[in-house]
Structure 1
């Protein structure tokens, strides 16, 4: 009996031994943001990459007891060049007092220049995805200019640039010109399934930053192939049914009007009866109000509202058809998710044509896409008259 007690006592002692890999929090170098650029100076062989880590400086963030302010800068950006990201992070530990620690990473910024180079983006993301410290919720964006410039923007609200950008990317209920934030977990799925995907794009200017359009990536090559602007992003979100809020500007008979969209949904039907030719029907249904008008017509007249309904529907159809035409004729790849719909609803037909969808015979480029929009104005929003 005493031997049994002794055995359990030894087992409990092992549980009290503590964590063998414990590291004091003071020794952590908390990385909040990461930027990837092509180095200014290149050597023969593998390309040189500039990795910038944004380290949070707790003393600069302040505490409530200190009034939340500090004269010290709340972050420190450290940039190093190298051919291997793993090597660069290890070299940072020789410069930075606290070794880089990525479990609190909020943002990864990649320059367009690097993303256009074959193989570099995929290899870089692969390393970050497999890093055990990496969280699946970390967001990825593309920068028009050097990515490290994005981690130096000024913000009067957020002390850390990486946190500021992450917050702005969530304002999709205010503007339809922003695509859904891309998390590195979703990026991993796209890369594994070889589906084309979009990454939010930012443009730094004069110490500030603004989301402008989206970067289109070829899912087979994991390489940036083109850019779409804000007006096209609005149409894209309406097509794929991922519109959380925003507006449409259009010209009426007597001036410009702003249609604020409160609700939007889409229905996409694909006819694959003819494997050599695919027909796609896109139905877009929106509800909203006239938020602003520069004309003098009364918005209380039902005939006027019906006319405006028709004008808005035509405007939405025009915008949606324009981006679809651009995808088919200029860009040449499907980034609307039509292929995913076919995989889900028409699997047998998809297996026959998947190798020729946006390559080979380019079935997507030759597909017939019909867009139909229905608009409902629930409120006039503004008027200079009252209903009698």
Structure 2
């Protein structure tokens, strides 16, 4: 197939159709095609008044048939080798088997890049492909641009790569996918959806603060801030790096013990009190309260996973499979069902912090006192 016969797709969105008929749900599929004429200057043959993309939506029950219909309308076949982003509406992902069926076709497509990112849209998925970002010509690429800042925000998770999704679906691991919203000319990451690894259905959501706790547990936290109090004085701790070590004691298959050790390193970025952070005794008190706050955030999301949702979305099942394979093969059917081994597991959390520096605000206060 010649390049002129291909319609390069950089983004795909899936929504439940506004009008439904028959027993099978109708899907609206939106492709974002690149329009080369929209790039460059008029002297280069480009048209600055033309958008560098066009969105085309079709509705049906079969993705294969919808793709063929797009080829008829567009005049060239959709080509997915350069696909950057897949956006799935939250209401579609909540329907039984819908997310699994939609993603299965894309995963099996030999043209599909394993690095293509998947996100969930809180509202209409196609709205994400219709925003007009100021710094990025293609809305589908804007998701990747926003993604660059995730390492600095502890309450966010990376969009799930389709290669990772394929692994989770094969191994039936539960997984998280970030939720996005369209806001004016930009995309906002806002929480995450929890997907059941057996049904691949969106079953619940967690907030940004809860994601922070998950990232601390999984060791994926790259940075971020924690607000806490030490003797009624508000403080902000900036995390520069964090590590997590998880050990699972699986000798007693009916009662699993999970030990989580979390180590962070950072600095007190801001204080709202008059106490000196150069006082070692006071810093011990500060560190104690900081440990308690971090442990509180971690245990809160663990409790929600065990007691409220009843699902392991922390990767413990993957650790069991990798470190205790024989035991895992015996108990995996009872991990979240039957004997509810995960829900009844004992989880111990220990936290250690290394506070390297203190904020300049406090140093200024101490200098003034010494004058």
TM-score above 0.5: yes
Q: Which residue matches 2:228?
A: 250
Separation in 2, partners of 1:207, 1:119: 32
2:257 aligned to which of 275, 279, 283: 279
Aligned residues: 366
1:106 aligns with 2:81: no
Offset of 1:267 from its aligned partner?
A: 0.9
- Matched residue, 1:292: 270
**2:222 is aligned with 1:234:** no
TM-score when normalising by structure 2? 0.94
Query: What does the per-residue CA deviation read over 1:211-230, in whole Å, with 9 as the maximum and x for residues that have no partner?
Result: 01111111011111110100
Give the structure 2 partner of residue 210 of structure 1: 188
Query: Contact 1:169 / 1:178 at 8 angstroms: preserved in 2?
Result: no
Structure-2 residue corresponding to 1:150: 128
Deviations 1:258-308 (A, max 9, x none): 111011001111112221111111111000001122222222111222111
How many Å separate the matches in 2 of 1:97 and 1:216?
39
1:12 maps to what in 2? none
Asked if residue 94 in structure 1 is aligned to residue 72 in structure 2, the reply is yes
* Equivalent in the alignment of 2:319: 341
Counterpart CA distance in 2 for 1:203 and 1:169 is: 14
Q: Does 1:136 align with 2:107?
A: no
Distance in 2, matches of 1:208 and 1:157, equals 10
Name the SS for the 1:287 alignment partner. strand
Within 5 Å, give how 1:57-76 maps onto structure 2. 57-63=35-41, 70-76=48-54
Can you give the 5+ residue segments of structure 1 that lack an aligned partner in the other structure? 1-21
Matched with 2:352 is 374
Structure 1 residues 63 and 184 mapped into 2: Cα distance closer, same or farther (>3 Å)?
A: farther
| RMSD (Å) for aligned C-alpha atoms | 1.8
Hey, what's the Cα distance between the residues in 2 that align with 1:208 and 1:181?
Answer: 16
**Structure 1 position 30 matched with structure 2 position 26:** no
Give SS of 1:173's match. helix
**Gapped runs of 5+ residues in structure 2?**
none
Instruction: Give the CA deviation at 1:171.
Output: 2.0
C-alpha distance in 2 between matches for 1:69 and 1:376: 55
More deviation, 377-386/116-125? 377-386
What SS does the corresponding residue of 1:77 show, helix, strand or coil?
strand
Label 1:261 to 1:130 Cα distance change in 2 as closer, same or farther (>3 A).
same
DSSP 3-state at the match of 2:216: helix
